[in-house]
Structure formats: C-alpha cells, structure tokens
C-alpha cells in the first residue's frame, strides 16, 4: 500500500516525460542486463515475490523449459532430483549471459552434471522456434515463465507457443503481474505505462486474465495478490 500510495502521489504531482513512440523492449533489456538484479532485488524481497518464485519453480519436474528466463532469477530454486533436463531461453542475449554466469557460479550447479542444463537465445513469442526448443523431443513436462508477458510485443502468441511446447499431461506455470482489481491502481499504471516500458522494458498494465483467456489454454489454477496485480497461473 505504501508503494502504491507513493507512486500515485508522484504521478499526480509530477509531469510524466513523453517516451518514444516506438519502444524496443529487447534493446532495453540488453542495455540494462548488468544492473538488472541490483535494481529489482529489494522490491522482490519486500513484496514477497522471491518466495512466490521459489514455490512456483519447485513444482517443476521432468523435462523443463523456462521461457523469458532473463538473468536467471529462478535458477536457484530448481530441484535437481525432480528435473531431468532444464532449458532456459530468453530473446535478450545480454540477460541470458548473466543467467549463464550466475548458474556457473552457483555451488549447486555441479549437482546437475554435464548436458542437463542449456541456455538458448530465442523469442518464444515468435513463430518458427519450436523445433529448436524441443530439441527433437515431444515437448516439455513443465514450462515455467515469470514476469514474461509484460516484456513481449504479443503476449497471446507467447502463451499459445508455450501451450504447443508443453506435453498434454504437462503444466505451464506462470507468475505474472498486470492490471489490478481496483480502477485507481489501473489508472496509475495506465498513465505511467509508456514511461515505465521505456525505462524498464515492461508494460506493467496488461490484462493478464484476458491474455490467458484469449490464448485458449485451460486454466487449472489462478490466484491473485497485491491488490490483484500479481498473478499465479497454472495452465494446460
């Protein structure tokens, strides 16, 4: 509440700078990759998002794909006893490079052995990448994505591709953020959305529930928190 209150006051009392009309989200992530973790660590800790990441990712099992893996903020939560193979993909080479360095520096990385973890640069929201991601297999038992729908031009296409990449008896696990239950929060996000995207590469006012519905995937579970702006979603 303090965060939203402070943000609302700032928006009402200060003019928002006009962002460029054409925002290249991927270029923003490549440019900010080096300082990304330091910028979001505190907010994710105090909001409880890191605990949610841990709970979500520990459900992953079998052959696992993490889409929009970013700097690998979920890497430490994967259970090597439950996960047979892990593929982390992101369209930002800069972000994924940080994820690889972080993984190789983790003490527990040795538990995984050679060849069980791969890092691929690719855009899951774009067509024509499925064969590369499947690597000749029949899809993944678990697909994980956290805060990825805000950072692509076509989030519906992203979800539909994730649905094609998961096996019929598998699960797509999402932790996302977007529109609130409350219109005063939505007005705050709408007014500052373009500025936020230009600064952080993230459209934070997207209708996650609407995107999920439009994707055509079956909702197994959906929970919302933080005034409805954080979404826990399990799909098949």
- pLDDT of amino acid 220: 97
- For domain 3-235, the CATH architecture is 3-Layer(aba) Sandwich (3.40)
Which residue, 56, 79, 215, is CA-closest to 147? 56
Residue 111 confidence (pLDDT) above 80: no
- pLDDT of amino acid 20: 47
Parse the chain into domains and list their residue ranges: 3-235
Q: Confidence band (pLDDT; 50, 70, 90) for 19?
A: very low
pLDDT: which is higher, 226 or 138:
226
pLDDT tens-digit map of 150-165: 999 899 999 999 999 9
- pLDDT of amino acid 173: 98
What is the separation of C-alpha 139 from the centre of its chain, rounded to a whole number of angstroms?
20
Q: What is the mean pLDDT of the chain?
A: 87
DSSP letter at 126 equals: S
Q: State pTM to two decimals.
A: 0.87
Question: CA-CA distance, 220 to 173, in Å (whole number)?
Answer: 10
Which residue, 3, 135, 9, 149, is CA-closest to 65? 135
- pLDDT of amino acid 4: 65
pLDDT tens-digit map of 223-232: 999 999 999 9
Which residue, 74, 85, 32, 81, is CA-closest to 52? 74
| Average pLDDT rounded to a whole number, residues 64-77 | 94
Residue 136 confidence (pLDDT) above 50: no
Question: CA-CA distance, 132 to 122, in Å (whole number)?
Answer: 9
Alpha helices in 48-182 (DSSP H): 49-57, 93-105, 130-134, 155-165
Residue 92 confidence (pLDDT) above 50: yes
* Lowest-confidence pick of 84-88, 112-116, 147-151, 208-212: 112-116
Residue 148 confidence (pLDDT) above 90: yes
Residue 98 confidence (pLDDT) above 80: yes
Helix-helix angle 155-165:208-215, to 10 degrees: 50
* Percent of the chain at pLDDT exceeding 70: 87
């Amino acid at each position: 509440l303090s965060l939203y209150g402070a943000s609302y006051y700032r928006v009402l009392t200060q003019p928002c700078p006009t962002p460029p009309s054409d925002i290249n989200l991927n270029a923003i992530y490549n440019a900010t990759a080096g300082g990304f973790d330091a910028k979001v660590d505190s907010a994710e800790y105090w909001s409880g998002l890191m605990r949610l990441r841990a709970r979500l990712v520990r459900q992953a099992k079998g052959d696992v794909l993490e889409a929009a893996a970013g700097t690998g903020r979920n890497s430490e939560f994967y259970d090597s006893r439950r996960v047979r193979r892990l593929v982390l993909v992101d369209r930002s080479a800069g972000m994924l490079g940080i994820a690889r360095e972080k993984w190789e520096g983790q003490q527990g990385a040795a538990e995984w052995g050679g060849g069980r973890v791969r890092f691929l640069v690719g855009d899951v929201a774009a067509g024509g990448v499925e064969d590369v991601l499947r690597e000749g297999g029949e899809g993944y038992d678990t697909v994980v994505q956290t805060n990825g729908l805000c950072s692509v031009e076509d989030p519906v296409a992203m979800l539909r591709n994730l649905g094609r990449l998961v096996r019929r008896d598998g699960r797509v696990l999402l932790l996302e953020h977007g529109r609130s239950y409350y219109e005063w929060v939505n007005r705050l996000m709408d007014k500052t959305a373009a500025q936020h995207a230009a600064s952080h590469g993230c459209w934070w006012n997207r209708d996650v529930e609407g995107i999920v519905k439009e994707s055509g995937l079956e909702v197994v579970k959906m929970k919302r928190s933080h005034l409805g702006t954080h979404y826990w979603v399990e799909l098949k």
